[in-house]
Structure 1
Amino acid sequence: ADAGVQIYQVALAQNLLNTVPLVGIAQGPILSSYYRDAVTDEIVAGAVVLYAPDDQQGFPCGYGADGKLFTEDDPIVTLPSGFTVANIADGAITFDRSEVARVATFEAPSGANPDFSDQGIVESFNTLIDFLRQRYVFNNFAGVNDVDWDALHDTYLPRVEKAEADEDLGEYGLAMVDLAHEIADAHVYVYLDPLAGDPKALQTILAGIAGGKGGIGADVVELDDGRIIVTSVKPNSPAEAAGFTFGAQIVAVDGQAVADALAQPVNFNLKFPGTAESTRVLAVQYLVKRPPGTDLEIAYQLPDSSEVMTTTLTAVANISSRPQTAAMPMEYKLMDGIGYVTWKGFERTGIATHIFADFIKVMGAQQIPGIIIDIRGNGGGSALMEFAVLSYLYSEENPLSLGIADSYRYNALTEEFVREPKTTVLSAPPATQPYLGDVVVLVDQHCVSACEFMSYWLQASGRATIVGQYSTEGGGGNTNAVTMPGGFMFNYTAGTDIDLKTDLPTFQAVGVVPDVRVPVNEETERRKLEGGDPVLDAGIEYLRRLAFERLGHEPAPFANGAVTTTVPAGWQSNADGAAYRSPDNPITLSITAWTDSDETDPDAIMVAVDPNVEKAGELVTNSGAWTIYGSDANDIYNIYGVNVIDGQPYIITTTTTDERLVTLMAEFILAPALRDFSVNE
């Protein structure tokens, strides 16, 4: 059969999956040898490499009257056998048969970074606003980051004109920071670092962002019940000197009730929250932030006190601690039979993806039933790495189809936004085994961009459960940056994905909402202060609950066959059949007939059995009413059920040394044993 002409694209791509040839997502180019029109799918310009198996093959040398390639009216030339480079430009195709041919990679016009750096301050501002009127993607979605560009222009033009009159790029940059805050999009932000080489601009900027550089040396959090409390106090800080402790409630700031203070606009400096929730969290933190040397009056209540006290504190410079930097971009470990992996950004993509592949291999080899992916604080980055990581969590039989959302991008040729179906399908790379166990993803309000998209795909496809105290940051799009005078950058959202169910941008301005919302209360905040991690604990608890819910129960005899109840399948009995133990030994279930006395009162019996017991409730079953008791002594946790049947007291005991299993043990081990208990004739 005639194989015909083979057509190759030349692409600059990253071989994240370490395969030869490139497969799956690794075939997606960073740069390509041609550019196609997203509307017509036609090649607009660039080059392709052709291979003809003989000298009898034809290929178009131009576009026909219909302006399309590969249609019947194309003019055709005969190719020589072997390789040929076809260069496409201005509707014509030329051929290069050089022994060594040069093929350039092609940047799509819509991907280019606009550069207004050669314009004056006011001119560049006007140009930027006109540009964003056309190119800010959420202009096309009512109710999503609505922007009145005329009003925004008129509001900031006086500041921009003053910056030009003062010849101060720092003033200009700060005006753009405030403008970006008004858009309230996590992907709309200003990068001022390039102005650091301008002494005047730098001085202006440092003065302008001083409000976030100082405070009273205390962290504050808004609880679910609406109270704002101190959660930590730094040593030798104004807050410590004033006697603030954990749980102190902030009532008013500078004479304003906290509710009124929070209703005022807040200068977040160089932080750009993207949801109402993350904005609120940040606003609460800024209640006690002031420029160093500034006085701040705070009305507060100490824990267990109804007295409102007022003190004036002088803000000091923030005490910065150098964050610990992991040696590797991704780290994993086993925790109590659960896999755990974490990373802070989708960067150093090659090594990070290989670490994740190793993590998946280890989890599969050890048959780990559940894993936790901790991407709290993950600032996003490479979408290619995001897809590579995702692929290991899906099988070829049940892949992840990104077609649950459409792509919405700007077409520079037609000067309009184009909605396209997403056709990418992800599954584990060839010769690897996907991880198909349970998956929990931990998120917070600092999970943004690629971090959020990964969470979204896993949640929307039903592959993972999202756990967190807060939703993600709400940056639901791809971005581009405009270069402004002095080299500072104004970043904007250039495109997005549209959820097919809602017909709205996936999670823009709302974030990925946790399936399991961990409370923000005094208990969880104190656990953090003491070095605990309530969000991680909730993820572990969720995976354990799934495992307990899947336990299959089967009848088992106790007390030499005198009684029967159900135990989880696979549990082993001891030598005398009085107790059953789980395979990994954290839980024991036993049944005894009380014969130490003639006592039939459950309370009296339990005091004799375990002096530390406390009554916890009652469960009525077909065999009668069971009284439930619990005890905790020497890190041994017992839950008992006592019932008197035909004058004979029976005690069912469940025991564990793991406090985290107590609730699950009661619900999934003891309760079924009580319900299914029967005395054999």
Structure 2
Amino acid sequence: MSIVRLLCDPFTHRAAGPLPGAAPQHRTARGGRARTRRAQAAAVLVALALTPLWALAQGGMLGNIGRAGEVMSRGESAVSTGQQVMSTGGQVMDAGRQAWNNRNGTPFQAPTGPAVMARDEGGPLRLIAALERGAGDPMAASSTLVALLDQGAYFIQRQAAHVTPPQDQLLATPRADSSAVSIDLPSSPPGTLFDLGSGRARASGPGVKIFALSVHANLPRRAGRRALDPIEQHAMLTTSSVQMEWPLQPELAMEPVGGKLLVWASEAGAPFPSGFGPDGRLFTADDPMVRLPRGYTVVTLDSRGFSFDRSREIALSQYSVQSTTDIDLSRLAPADAFKAFTSVMQERYPFRSAQPMDWGRLQGELADRVRQAGDQKDRQATGRIYADIGARLQDGLFRVELRGAGGSQGLTAGLDTGLSGQSQPRGITPLPLPGVWWLPDGRALVGSVAPRSAADLAGLRPGAEIVEVNGESMSRYIGRASRYSNRPTEAGRRYDALKLMAYERDAMVLKVRQDGKDLTVDLRQRLAEQPAPASAAPNNESLSAFQLRGPSGRQYGYIVLSSFADGGGNLDVWERSLAAANQARLRGLVLDLRGANHGAYQLVPHYAASFFSYDRPLKLQGYAQRQVDATAKVWRTRGSLGLPPQLPLFTQGTGYYSAPLVLLTGPECTGPCEMFSAWLQKAGRAHVVATEPTPGAVGMTTRILLPGDVVVHAPTVAELGANGEHYVFGKGVEPDLRVPVDAALVQRAMTGGDPVLDAAVQWLDGRPQAR
């Protein structure tokens, strides 16, 4: 008997409006009522209760949650305040100032004359940014802001962790029916004044302020937003009016190599570079200088020399900061597209050291298959060839889709027989249930069966033991079927094989032992009998929160998270849930990530910052992001997710949670879930509980468009750890507490229990309590 029981109905926090009413108590697909009666009869053994955190608001306990959310949503939180100190006065990154003063021993170059203007209409009054996403894209527009940010400290002093404080930001919201955004310039701009003769900030006198016009996309929705916070300024920077080159080391700032800057001179005759100088870098002592008139000037950066423009209205083109834009090979012949694809992968694949591949040999081996599939216009066959490459790479990020009139459709290697795993709801958030469990003694037990699936129609029920598949023992079948999986870990490939998909031209005949009898069924024959799956309505909310009571009687929080995407207000919901846990003085938090398999990294840094304080922040010193520079033929590296390693991540107020934290992970915890878990585990902030490691697939992908509407999502940006090793890829996140899978665990799971959650609560109960 599990110690877990849902004594209260799950709920969903919502960004606005009243909380919904009671939902039906969770039951498994079969025998739910009987198990409920059994649980009630054995209530004396129950030691764990789940109560919605919103219930703690009764009696005025959570009256300040709204104000706590406002603090986080204004952009004037302690994170921004702490970074404001770093970004003003030149208090950090002294090396940047020294580089300006003493670059190669070259003295400061005095201005040689006035800047020559392409047009001089007195200086710009308005800037226009052209957006990559235009009309008819309301979702993109609602999560995008165009920002004119003071960037003098970043470019002049090379403060990689520079954050523009709220008062120095000018923001504009794009309209869904427009592909451009304009910003009207104030007569006297905010920002820090710099003396380019010394590279130092100054309060007044002659000098310049330097701005870049940037686009920040995929932003979380915040009520009453007034500014971009530090995470959003760095991690969600998608394009900029300045063309920037990633550095070779993650702690360095990106170097401007082109594009346009907006410069404001406080007095006529202010010096400013007219070119990059012999060292090829901007704002170093060998730059040739000119004098600017007072007011605004747009400077175009060019290796042949800069140009200057003082038109009243100027459009600033945008340059991508991260090169994950689509690679379009769709207009090529299939054979030529495949050859180009292998060339791109040979040049840009970032995990070549972990998963080496002879791309030239692969191109020769598969060229005839690609040509034949193309001649027959068989895009399914074409897609399977590319999917096979992902399986050879054993790269969980590599994914193939087929586009059509109804949208993109993932290409699966086989047909779902109903044993690929189901889900149980915790509030509105689903948790995965394995379709088949693999025991250490080699037995395979059915854990869940999809209603009206081929397995269900064949009469299979949870608890049945699968003895053979297609005449092979389970161990032999798994060894053969795992080749269809692209997961990099052995546990991950076995997990995919246990889904028992029906592959093309393969039978799916199972010999099972059920209720003491041997039964033989052909699931592939049953596939034609099952009805078409109903399309589920999209669910943008991904978080459910409860209150737990452990065997000791101590109270804990329990949050189930299925995605790190915002979905229209999840960050506010998250902060309110943590505020509720703090108000209730809960002594620990269990964060259930077992179903967090969505590919969005959007809220990973925000969520992680919630568990770190101003005096003990999270610094990503051991993490980096790497991609190839195709022009220079070198690998360039910046901070993980674009966050500088020097940037402290923390939260203050009721949104900061300081009590012990347990993470529940599993084979569906991929990508962002793994990154989040690894950050917290390696920082010593969380205890990971699971039955096995996570799949080991963290990184960014680029869409490669191929003939026949075949799309390959291929990794081009790697997430690295200290010394350049892959801290998750191919390894996964190892649990601190591994829950052994045995027959007793499977039995408890099939009867509505949750042994992994039980283990987490028991671990929390066993910790000494602070006095």
Answer whether TM exceeds 0.5 for this pair: yes
- Could you say what secondary structure the match of 1:452 adopts? helix
Q: CA 1:113/1:429 → structure 2, altered by over 3 Å: closer, same or farther? A: same
Q: 1:86 aligns with which of 299, 308, 318?
A: 299
- Could you say what secondary structure the match of 2:327 adopts? coil
- Could you say what secondary structure the match of 1:437 adopts? coil
Aligned to 2:601: 383
Please state if 1:249 is matched with 2:465. Answer: yes
Q: 1:225 aligns with which of 437, 441, 449?
A: 441
Please state if 1:101 is matched with 2:277. Answer: no
Amino acid at match of 1:174: R
Q: In the alignment, is the contact (CA less than 8 A) between 1:85 and 1:96 conserved in 2? A: yes
Q: CA 1:366/1:155 → structure 2, altered by over 3 Å: closer, same or farther? A: same
Aligned to 1:409: 627
Q: CA 1:20/1:216 → structure 2, altered by over 3 Å: closer, same or farther? A: closer
Please state if 1:184 is matched with 2:394. Answer: yes
Amino acid at match of 1:164: G
Deviation at 1:529, TM superposition (A): 2.1
Please state if 1:38 is matched with 2:38. Answer: no
Q: CA 1:245/1:114 → structure 2, altered by over 3 Å: closer, same or farther? A: closer
Distance in 2 (CA, whole Å) between partners of 1:327 and 1:67 is 47
Q: CA 1:472/1:81 → structure 2, altered by over 3 Å: closer, same or farther? A: same
Aligned to 1:23: 229
Query: Aligned runs of 1:49-128 on 2, under 5 Å?
Result: 49-108=262-321, 110-128=323-341
Please state if 1:472 is matched with 2:694. Answer: yes
Deviation at 1:120, TM superposition (A): 0.4
Q: CA 1:237/1:114 → structure 2, altered by over 3 Å: closer, same or farther? A: closer
Aligned to 1:8: 211
Aligned to 2:499: 285
Aligned to 2:10: none
- Could you say what secondary structure the match of 2:708 adopts? helix
Distance in 2 (CA, whole Å) between partners of 1:216 and 1:433 is 40
Q: CA 1:217/1:240 → structure 2, altered by over 3 Å: closer, same or farther? A: farther
Q: CA 1:477/1:217 → structure 2, altered by over 3 Å: closer, same or farther? A: closer
Superposed CA deviations along residues 289-311 of structure 1, whole A, max 9, x for unmatched, are 4679x7544344457x6x8x462
Deviation at 1:100, TM superposition (A): 3.0
Aligned to 2:510: 298
Superposed CA deviations along residues 234-265 of structure 1, whole A, max 9, x for unmatched, are 67777678775544332222222222222224
Distance in 1 (CA, whole Å) between partners of 2:281 and 2:378 is 52
Q: In the alignment, is the contact (CA less than 8 A) between 2:392 and 2:486 conserved in 1? A: no
Please state if 1:343 is matched with 2:561. Answer: yes
Amino acid at match of 2:495: V
Aligned to 1:448: 670
- Could you say what secondary structure the match of 2:316 adopts? coil
Aligned residue pair count = 532
Distance in 2 (CA, whole Å) between partners of 1:321 and 1:463 is 41
Deviation at 1:385, TM superposition (A): 1.6
- Could you say what secondary structure the match of 2:341 adopts? helix
Superposed CA deviations along residues 256-281 of structure 1, whole A, max 9, x for unmatched, are 2222222224574xx74342211101
Superposed CA deviations along residues 204-223 of structure 1, whole A, max 9, x for unmatched, are x99xx684233689942212
Superposed CA deviations along residues 613-656 of structure 1, whole A, max 9, x for unmatched, are xxxxxxxxxxxxxxxxxxxxxxxxxxxxxxxxxxxxxxxxxxxx
Please state if 1:259 is matched with 2:465. Answer: no
Distance in 2 (CA, whole Å) between partners of 1:107 and 1:193 is 25
Aligned to 1:311: 520
Query: Aligned runs of 1:426-465 on 2, under 5 Å?
Result: 426-429=648-651, 433-465=655-687
Amino acid at match of 2:242: Y
Q: 1:275 aligns with which of 489, 497, 510?
A: 489
Please state if 1:532 is matched with 2:738. Answer: no
Q: Which is further off, 485-494 or 109-118?
A: 109-118
Distance in 1 (CA, whole Å) between partners of 2:638 and 2:413 is 45
Q: In the alignment, is the contact (CA less than 8 A) between 1:376 and 1:444 conserved in 2? A: yes
Q: CA 1:369/1:217 → structure 2, altered by over 3 Å: closer, same or farther? A: closer
Amino acid at match of 2:228: L
Deviation at 1:188, TM superposition (A): 0.9
The gaps in structure 2 that reach 5 residues or longer are: 1-201, 249-253, 422-434, 550-554
Distance in 2 (CA, whole Å) between partners of 1:462 and 1:359 is 23
Q: Which is further off, 394-403 or 161-170?
A: 161-170
Aligned to 2:342: 129
Superposed CA deviations along residues 320-357 of structure 1, whole A, max 9, x for unmatched, are 57668656333323233222223322223551112112
Deviation at 1:519, TM superposition (A): 2.3
Distance in 1 (CA, whole Å) between partners of 2:418 and 2:669 is 25
Q: In the alignment, is the contact (CA less than 8 A) between 1:331 and 1:355 conserved in 2? A: no
Amino acid at match of 1:6: K
The gaps in structure 1 that reach 5 residues or longer are: 553-681
Q: CA 1:5/1:380 → structure 2, altered by over 3 Å: closer, same or farther? A: farther
Distance in 1 (CA, whole Å) between partners of 2:649 and 2:276 is 38
Q: 2:365 aligns with which of 139, 145, 155?
A: 155
- Could you say what secondary structure the match of 1:44 adopts? strand
- Could you say what secondary structure the match of 2:480 adopts? coil
Could you say which structure has the greater relative contact order, defined with CA pairs below 8 angstroms and 6 or more residues apart? 2
Amino acid at match of 2:493: T
Distance in 2 (CA, whole Å) between partners of 1:374 and 1:466 is 10
Aligned to 1:174: 384
Distance in 1 (CA, whole Å) between partners of 2:286 and 2:310 is 25
Distance in 2 (CA, whole Å) between partners of 1:195 and 1:153 is 30
Aligned to 2:68: none
Deviation at 1:98, TM superposition (A): 2.8
Aligned to 2:769: 550
Distance in 1 (CA, whole Å) between partners of 2:358 and 2:452 is 47
Distance in 2 (CA, whole Å) between partners of 1:197 and 1:475 is 25
Q: In the alignment, is the contact (CA less than 8 A) between 2:611 and 2:651 conserved in 1? A: no
Distance in 2 (CA, whole Å) between partners of 1:233 and 1:129 is 40
- Could you say what secondary structure the match of 1:423 adopts? coil
Distance in 2 (CA, whole Å) between partners of 1:532 and 1:355 is 27
TM-score, normalised to structure 2's length? 0.63
Distance in 1 (CA, whole Å) between partners of 2:503 and 2:211 is 60
Amino acid at match of 2:246: A
Aligned to 2:26: none
Q: CA 1:291/1:153 → structure 2, altered by over 3 Å: closer, same or farther? A: closer
Q: In the alignment, is the contact (CA less than 8 A) between 2:619 and 2:649 conserved in 1? A: no
Distance in 1 (CA, whole Å) between partners of 2:453 and 2:293 is 80
Identity of aligned residues (%): 25
Distance in 1 (CA, whole Å) between partners of 2:567 and 2:646 is 20
Q: In the alignment, is the contact (CA less than 8 A) between 1:373 and 1:440 conserved in 2? A: yes
Amino acid at match of 2:520: T
Q: Which has the higher strand share?
A: 1
Deviation at 1:178, TM superposition (A): 1.8
CA RMSD after TM alignment: 3.2
